[in-house]
Amino acid sequence: MGHEELLARHRAVMPDWMALYYDRPIEIASASGRHVTDGEGRTYLDFFAGILTNAVGYDVAEISDAIRAQLSTGVVHSSTLYLIRSQVELAERIAGLSGIPDAKVFFTNSGTEANETALMLATRYRRSDQVLALRNSYHGRAFATVAITGNRSWSASSLSPVKVAWVHGGYRYRSPFRDLPDADYVSACVADLREVIATATAGEVACLVVEPIQGVGGFSSPPDGLFAAFKEVLDEHGVLLISDEVQTGWGRTGEHFWGIQAHGVTPDAMTFAKGLGNGLAIGGVVARGDLMDCLTANSLSTFGGNPLSTTGALATLDYLLDHDLQANAAKLGDRLIGGLRRIAEDRPAVGDVRGKGLMVGIELVGPKGEPDALKAVAVLEGARERGLLVGKGGLYGNVIRLAPPMTVTEDEVEEALGTLEAVL
């Protein structure tokens, strides 16, 4: 079956609002390493990794063997009503890696569920339905996570179970404070935070939710240290800090294992998902014990933390650490960003190249610096035509997102740079 026939069947039974890349969407039929092959036999270098989810790449023996071993027991599912050895072992590892004192972990199926859980914990703990969020943010597609998503193109409903106030800081390139030096930018955003708390809330705020690097928002981030400065203000009011590490976790930023560590601050809770499962569905929350234990009603997760996903996640985490993929992300991320900035020097359509490690954004602009979404579409399509898969995002849909598997090689980075140079 070709792509056109599959696309027709897809459109007949799937929602119109499910986004598909490309004028002629493709099926990923097989994969190995950092390469995928579509349903019509064409192979591509993958620099988006299933939206940062295939963190280690494809067909990794150590992970596949662990999954097969679990399958051989016959136990794919049991639910959290029973003890799950791999779930406990994975929770122990994540709690220790988190840096959060007395940490406890709850597993979910996705980043959306993880952020919903974090919001439930924070609002219950603080007995408040008021939440602070950053402009240009994205936290998931469920009811509460859409409410705290500061990006209109992903806000499916104006209805909300929480009262949200919006704070400056995450998207510097088009911020009113963009031309300030780092320290002054931080000061301006802190002043804005204070004013928002004083004027847009009733004072008893549950939490501030931040992405250390805004993912869907186009891999944008503030200067290091902003969230530590925010935490000082939050502590004055007893407000919790939640770091959404769904895209920034597991060493992808290169310099740190968690994105929030670049700011020199320990949050009260972190959410995670995506890369931990290397394709398996898993997410979760790691939080202070008193925060995690604040619920007084019974709760569980039918599928969250099931034996298969936690076994695969343990194997993925072992692989990440044993092969020091964080260091690889730092080294090759610098090479990728440096190469793109060189390419951008004589290409006025590139307004900004930004990112950390293997999270890199290219913002495409028009003659007056205005967002140019059509150029981003042209790059997305042009890269695919030349055998490279990349992502797209940003508040205005004008940012190319690059996030290859963390096992990417020097030769593959150079290949991607050559393709992007030709396309740009």
Q: How far is CA 209 from the centre of its chain?
A: 13
Q: What number is the average pLDDT over the span 153-159? A: 88
- 66-322 carries CATH number 3.40.640.10: yes
pLDDT of the residue at 285:
98
Give 54-66 pLDDT, tens digit per residue. Answer: 999 999 999 999 9
Segment 161-167 mean pLDDT: 97
pLDDT for position 408: 98
**Average pLDDT for 359-379:** 98
* Arithmetic mean of pLDDT over the chain: 97
Contact 391, 402 (CB under 8 A): yes
Note the pLDDT tens digit of each residue in 223-267.
999 999 999 999 999 999 999 999 999 999 999 999 999 999 999
Q: What percent of the chain has pLDDT over 90?
A: 98
> Can you tell me whether residue 416 is helix, strand or coil?
helix
Q: In which band, very low, low, confident or very high, does the pLDDT at 153 lie, cut at 50, 70 and 90?
A: confident
List, by residue range, all CATH 3.40.640.10 domains of the chain.
Answer: 66-322
**Token pair 């952020």 in the structure block, residue:** 115
In this prediction, residue 371 has a pLDDT band, given cuts at 50, 70 and 90, of: very high
* pTM of the model as a whole: 0.97
* 166-211 residue pLDDT tens: 999 999 999 999 999 999 999 999 999 999 999 999 999 999 999 9
Least confident of 107-111, 150-154, 260-264: 150-154
Q: For 10, list phi and psi in degrees, rounded to 5.
A: -60, -50
pLDDT given at position 156: 85
d(CA 322, CA 22): 37
Task: Report how far residue 205's alpha carbon sits from residue 268's, in angstroms, rounded to the nearest whole number.
Answer: 14
Q: Is the pLDDT of residue 1 over 90?
A: no
Tell me if 78 sits within 8 A of 86, measured CB to CB: no
Contacts 24+ apart (CB under 8 A), 366-369: none
Closest CA to 335 of 310, 312, 353: 353
Please report which confidence band the pLDDT of residue 155 belongs to, taking 50, 70 and 90 as the band edges.
Answer: confident
Sheet holding 283-288, edge to edge: 103-108, 283-288, 269-272, 240-244, 207-210, 130-134, 163-167
Asked whether the predicted pLDDT for residue 416 surpasses 90, the reply is: yes
